């Protein structure tokens, strides 16, 4: 089971901060972050890679789904 963080409609840096909080809280779980801006995808990707996590991104009709795991 994975955790879902819905950061759609939020401006940076808020999606990154939400992702940071989720990673610290759910370290061993896969986290799915939902965003609706390409810049949020890029910022979150830079952050999670710097923390040693992997990220897969898929685009859908509502924006982007980012799957983050250790």
Instruction: Enumerate the active-site residues.
Output: 12
User: Contact at 8 Å (CB) between 51 and 22?
Assistant: no
Q: Which residue has tokens 């989720």?
A: 22
| Gyration radius from the chain CA atoms | 11
């Amino acid at each position: 089971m994975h955790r879902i963080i819905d950061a759609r409609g939020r401006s940076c840096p808020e999606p990154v901060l939400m992702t940071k909080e989720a990673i610290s809280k759910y370290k061993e779980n896969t986290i799915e972050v939902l965003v609706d801006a390409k810049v949020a995808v890029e910022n979150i990707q830079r952050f999670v890679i710097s923390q040693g996590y992997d990220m897969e991104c898929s685009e859908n009709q509502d924006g982007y789904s980012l799957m983050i795991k250790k």
